[in-house]
Chains A and B, each alone.
Chain A
């Protein structure tokens, strides 16, 4: 019989953070009220590219309550008009003379209330001289394209070229292949649309010390960036990330609003709040995706994959402001060989400037992993179809077999562990795949459109090993600091920041397991740079792989010291003790034991001779490798021929994220991730017209799915622990977002395949399906 501890690993412990949220007592940035606090709002550019010829703030300044305006010229005087991006590019805080995208912040208005600030923003008059606009990155590369960044030495919109893999070998492998499928794919721009937008409150105290409450997923990194950019002494900066209403990558970058709020606070001597409207957020916060992909995949005629070649144009808007802490400009895009053992693969990406907002960010995935997973899972389906093979059978035939892990991919990643067939077989069983195929045959005879789509993705999370990852040179480690108080209660602090993932609960569970102290006696704190150990923050599903590991190791450091104290209390040698059933026991004499609480009290009252008082530990964990969660999804769709409407009838998701700490939280993460996989497949995109006008800059046209559009998700799991993580956990929040889109698109293409359809662009709006059916005389 195994002993368990309350709230240990594997239990669906109810979330600790819920107590405040269900009472309306969460503390989000916009909830912060300080005495004398002012409000910042912006007048934004109606043009995508224009010279600013004059700014007339007079009318705005006459509005009661409007106190000040801040322009790019004001910032320039303090050398703050531009700021560096994480990708060594530069980005404007406020423009001095030229705007580069529609919705760009031009003038900051400081007022005594949000109402007056809004009135002020509407009253500022700005004269513009429109300049030629380019919004299509392919056109931006043409020689006569308008130059987006004349400030750069390179007089072209081309930012960088990056490639990896064996070009000649891949070309040769494809040339020799019996079949090759070529596919162009476009992953449109997206906005993460966390329900809370971005914002901050900045305040200088009388000693000149700056505190900023900020919607940030990475408070420490922000503190260091502020110190480097603004030249403030780092000990005089305190960044507090209070409760966050979702992040999904959108709260990693530094936005102009944060900087202007700090400047406004400095100039006025008052606390200044800035909170974006939703439209501000959709128009100017960082985007995701916008990858134009052109790919070839080859196979032998008996269905063995041979080679993969991918060429991509990456639209970065007017600055490469990607929130990508890797050393690779295209992030982890070279996970693109997915779950398959390619001998040869080659990937190249070109970054391009356009007159659009800068970025990009992840949208609930590691950097560019969705782009990769979508591409490979679409292509694998395409080539299976061309070979006349069932897509499930084709995948099962090609998967990297479980016995070859750790597996080194053609593009240089070392996959830690996997059992891809296990996940696909379970998903097929849950949905009864053979029965569906049979039903499909019947339906096709009657002319009905039903499709089944599979996606067997491999994720890469847990950034990351310091050889490949850093932010401004800072390694991507993660910190945990544990203090055990005399009464056996625990305070643990982390450098990560939950945005809804339930860290307060999950970390408690890890520590409960490792320390033998019930989760209810463990308090978790994150997000305050004054108190938390340094860390790089929460995104890319890195918290459990990195901070979770730091927690385990810090706890084990405590156990090491605790063992000495326990030995002292039991009057035996530390070697005579073992850690068993969550206590120190004299080997072979289980009734002689001490709990961690006993030890904690002794650590302060009766420490072992030669040991310091107290019971604390810190660990900074630099992961030896990434973790590679995976899964297989099967989706069934029915298509209404009269309207082109796609109805997702069933969607089964089998995920494998290694050891599961809290099954309830993991399942919740999967549901949410699936919805953010559904969204780009069928609903969301941001587009621009030729003049750079953003189409759909509110939730009227940016179609975040409601409960009605969202399917009843069915989940299953397999468990393949990570061999290099101290408890085998891999991270899960994003896998479904990565894996789901291809399953849905594959299902729709499968439904339409009798009509000769091999691809359909996302988002799959009814009109696109209707058009195909109409062209084929089907409606």
Chain B
């Protein structure tokens, strides 16, 4: 399988890249790690006339925690996310997800930015970003703007990104005491996209009451989905297994899966229910909750 012909550019700055995108509107695509784009091009399902490789732009790859935010540069490799001590110890949901994206080799090329920008409902990081309340910093011809992750996903492969915009950074609220998250994914085999996967994020007060919750679902709809009712059902409670089970049921109701080779829709809803309950238990434990 051979990609069709295209023109390749490797600009040194974000602005240069935006300039190229603007000049070649409709024909040009950003290339980050290429682990989503190149497979599509090899199958000739995507035929961009120009690729703009952003991997040579300095300072787009970093993981940095400051007083307000965790900042992840768009070009950060998924395996760098997985290897980061900060991520593993303080944002374990992202490490859970990162370890289940594709396979270890793909993760050495694939980037956080590519994973969240691709717009495939099967990508694993978007659900984490929704559950944890991330914002995306994007730069275009008119400068920077930030978009809440939950506003970003419009339809399958359709995002809020304008054609001449580039994602530069993902911003995540800094982890506090009483925060706990988890990502659980069921896959047909390692390296596969999810049958269904669930990201949950809980914040507990000092008494163990849930003060905020986020639940989002991977690959059970046209885009990543929020399970808002499931999340809000937990707020104000010191939850028990019965609450997690109930939240699981609500999450399953929020899912809109289609029957396909990964299984019938009803099954996928069942998996959402099971994984939500289990992920909530794990997140609850990580947040310091005691039952």
Direct A–B contact in complex, judged by CB atoms less than 8 Å apart: yes
Interface residues of A (CB under 8 A from B): 114-115, 118-119, 122, 277, 279, 642-645, 683, 695-696, 700-701, 703, 705-706, 708-709, 765-767, 770-771, 774, 779
Q: Report B-chain residues with C-beta under 8 Å of the C-beta of A114.
A: 2
Could you say which residues of chain B place their CB within 8 Å of the CB of A765? 188, 263
| Complex contacts, B266 vs chain A, CB 8 Å | 771, 774
- The reply to whether B195 and A766 contact each other, CB–CB distance below 8 Å, is yes
Q: For the complex, give the distance between the alpha carbons of A705 and B4 in Å.
A: 31
A709 lies within 8 A of B270 (CB)? no
Name the contact of A706 in the complex, choosing from B189, B261, B267, B271 (C-beta under 8 A). Answer: B189
B274 closest partner in A (C-beta): A642
Contacting residue for A766 out of B4, B44, B186, B190, CB 8 A: B186
Shortest distance between the CB of A469 and any CB in chain B (Å): 38
A705→B189 contact, CB < 8 A = yes
A119 touches B270 (CB 8 A): no
Give the residue name and chain of the A residue nearest to B277 (CB): A642
* B58 on interface, CB distance cutoff 8 Å: no
Query: Given the complex of chains A and B, what is the CA–CA distance between A556 and B274 in angstroms?
Result: 67
Which of B44, B264, B270, B277 has the largest number of chain A CB atoms within 10 A?
B270
**How far is it, in angstroms, between the C-alpha of A703 and the C-alpha of B147 when the chains are bound?**
38
Which residues between 5 and 20 of chain B lie within 8 Å of chain A, taking CB atoms?
Answer: 5
- With both chains docked as a complex, state the minimum distance between the C-beta of B133 and any C-beta of chain A, in angstroms: 28
Contacts A115-B2, A708-B189, A709-B189 given: A767-B261 contact, CB under 8 Å?
no
- Chain B residues with CB under 8 A of A766: 186, 195, 263, 267
With A and B bound together, what is the CA distance between A643 and B272 in angstroms? Answer: 9
For residue B278, which residue of chain A has the nearest CB? Answer: A642
A767 lies within 8 A of B190 (CB): no
| Residues of chain A contacted by B277 (CB below 8 angstroms) | 642
Contact pick for B4, options A122, A642, A696, CB 8 Å: A122
Q: Kindly list chain B residues whose C-beta atoms are within 8 Å of the C-beta of A774.
A: 266-267, 270
Residues on B with beta carbons closer than 8 Å to the beta carbon of A709 = 189-190
* Residue B191 CB within 8 A of the other chain: yes
B1 contacts the other chain (Cβ, under 8 Å)?
Answer: yes
Q: Is the CB of A771 within 8 A of B264?
A: yes
A770 to B195 Cα, complex, angstroms? 13
Q: Which residues of B contact A118 (CB under 8 A)?
A: 1-2
Nearest CB of A to B2, in Å: 4
The residue in chain B whose Cβ has the minimal distance to the Cβ of A277 is B1
Cβ B264 vs Cβ A706 within 8 A: no
Contact, CB under 8 Å: B264 / A767: yes
Using known A-B contacts A122-B44, A771-B264, A771-B267, determine if residue A703 contacts B189 with beta carbons closer than 8 Å. yes
A706 to B1, Cβ gap below 8 A? no
Q: Give the Cβ gap from B267 to chain A, nearest Cβ, in Å.
A: 4
By beta carbon, the residue of chain A nearest B44 is: A122
Q: Which residues of B contact A708 (CB under 8 A)?
A: 189-190
Is the CB–CB distance between B189 and A643 below 8 Å?
no
Binding site for A on B (CB under 8 A): 1-2, 4-5, 44, 103, 186, 188-192, 195, 261-264, 266-267, 270-271, 274-275, 277-278
Distance in angstroms between the alpha carbons of A444 and B198 in the assembled complex: 30
Decide: B2 and A706 in contact? CB cutoff 8 A: no
User: Contacts A696-B261, A708-B189, A709-B190; is A119 near B4 (CB within 8 Å)?
Assistant: yes
**Residues in A neighbouring B1, C-beta threshold 8 A:** 118, 277, 279
Please indicate the chain A residues that have their CB under 8 angstroms from the CB of B44 in the complex: 122
Closest 6 CB pairs of A and B: A767-B263, A642-B274, A118-B2, A767-B267, A708-B190, A706-B190
Contact B190 A770 (CB under 8 A): no
- CA A170 to CA B102, docked complex, whole Å: 53
> Once the chains are docked, how many angstroms separate the CA of A700 from the CA of B192?
7
| Distance from B100 Cβ to chain A, minimum over Cβ atoms (Å) | 11
Within the complex, what minimum Cβ distance (angstroms) separates A118 from chain B? Answer: 4
Q: Known contacts A119-B4, A708-B190; is A643 also within 8 Å of B261 by CB?
A: no
Nearest Cβ distance between residue B273 and chain A, in whole angstroms? 8
Q: Which residues of B contact A645 (CB under 8 A)?
A: 186
Residue of B nearest to A704 (CB): B189
Residues in B with CB closer than 8 Å to A279 are 1
Whether the Cβ atoms of A770 and B270 lie closer than 8 Å is: yes
A765, B275: Cα distance in complex, Å: 17
A683–B103 Cα distance when bound, in Å, is 18
- Given the complex, which residues of B lie within 8 Å of A642, measured CB to CB? 274, 277-278
Q: For the complex, what is the distance from the CA of A82 to the CA of B2, rounded to whole Å?
A: 30
> Across the interface, which residues of A come within 8 angstroms of B264, CB to CB?
767, 771
25 residue pairs bridging A and B, Cβ less than 8 Å apart: A114-B2, A115-B2, A118-B1, A119-B2, A119-B5, A122-B4, A277-B1, A642-B274, A643-B186, A643-B275, A645-B186, A695-B261, A700-B192, A703-B188, A703-B189, A706-B189, A706-B191, A708-B189, A765-B188, A767-B267, A770-B263, A770-B270, A771-B267, A774-B270, A779-B270
Q: Closest approach, in angstroms, between the C-beta of A683 and any C-beta of chain B?
A: 7
B263 near A683 (CB under 8 angstroms)?
no
Tell me which of A279, A708, A766, A771 has the highest count of chain B C-beta atoms within 10 A of its own C-beta.
Answer: A766
What separation, in Å, do the CA atoms of A766 and B186 have in the docked complex? 10
Task: Give CA–CA (A767, B192) in the complex, Å.
Answer: 16
Give the residues in chain A near B195, CB-CB below 8 Å: 766-767
In the bound complex, how far is the Cα of B100 from the Cα of A708, in angstroms?
Answer: 12
Give chain A nearest CB distance to B236 CB in angstroms.
Answer: 27
A370 to chain B, nearest CB (A): 21
Cα A770 to Cα B269 in complex, Å, equals 11
Pairwise interchain contact B274-A643, C-beta atoms closer than 8 A: yes
B195 to chain A, nearest CB (A): 7
Given contacts A706-B190, A771-B266, 18 further A-B contacts (CB under 8 A): A118-B2, A277-B1, A642-B278, A643-B274, A644-B267, A683-B189, A696-B261, A703-B189, A703-B192, A706-B191, A765-B263, A766-B186, A766-B263, A766-B267, A767-B195, A767-B264, A767-B267, A770-B263
Roughly how many angstroms separate A682 CA and B266 CA in the complex, as a whole number? 20
Across-interface contacts of A700 in B (CB, < 8 A): 192
A284, B103: Cα distance in complex, Å: 28
Provide the bound-state CA to CA distance between A44 and B262, in Å.
27
- Cα(A122)–Cα(B42), bound, Å: 12
Whole-angstrom CA separation of A277 from B39 in the bound complex = 14
Contacts of B271 in A (CB 8 A): 643, 770
Determine which residue in B2, B189, B195, B275 has the highest number of CB atoms from chain A within 10 A of its CB, and name it.
Answer: B2
Contacting A779 at CB < 8 Å: which of B263, B274, B278?
Answer: B274
- Docked complex Cα distance between A642 and B44 (Å): 39
* Distance of A279 Cα from B43 Cα, bound (Å): 10
Q: A414 to nearest B CB, angstroms?
A: 42
Q: Which residue from chain A places its CB closest to the CB of B248 in the assembled complex?
A: A642
Nearest-CB residue, chain A, relative to B184: A643
Select from chain B the residue with minimum beta-carbon distance to A642: B274
For A118, the closest partner residue in chain B by CB is: B2
C-alpha gap A115/B1 in the complex (Å): 9
A642 to B267, CA, bound (A): 10
- Name which of B44, B262, B274, B277 has the most chain A CB atoms within 10 A of its CB: B274
In the bound complex, residues from chain A placing their C-beta under 8 Å from that of B192 are 700, 703
Q: Which residue of A has the minimal Cβ distance to B5?
A: A119
CA distance A708 to B188 in the complex (A): 11
- The residue in chain B whose Cβ has the minimal distance to the Cβ of A114 is B2
Distance in angstroms from A697 CB to nearest chain B CB is 11
Q: Which of A115, A765, A767, A774 has the most CB of B within 10 A?
A: A767
**In the assembled complex, which residues on chain A have CB atoms less than 8 Å from the CB atom of B103?**
706
Contacts of B267 in A (CB 8 A): 644, 766-767, 770-771, 774
CA distance A645 to B275 in the complex (A): 13
Distance in Å: Cβ of A64 to nearest Cβ of chain B: 10
Chain B's closest residue to A774 (CB) is: B270
Q: How far is the CA of A770 from the CA of B263 in the complex (A)?
A: 10
Query: Distance (Å) between the CB of B182 and the closest chain A CB?
Result: 15
Assembly CA distance A683 to B262 (angstroms): 11
Q: Which A residues lie within 8 Å of B263 (CB)?
A: 765-767, 770
Which interface residue of B4, B44, B188 has the most chain A CB atoms within 10 A?
B188
Q: State the CA gap A700–B191 with chains docked (Å).
A: 9
**Least CB separation from B39: chain A residue:** A700
- Closest B residue to A767 by beta carbon equals B263
Distance between A321 CB and nearest chain B CB, rounded to angstroms: 26
Q: Complex: how many Å from CA A335 to CA B278? A: 48
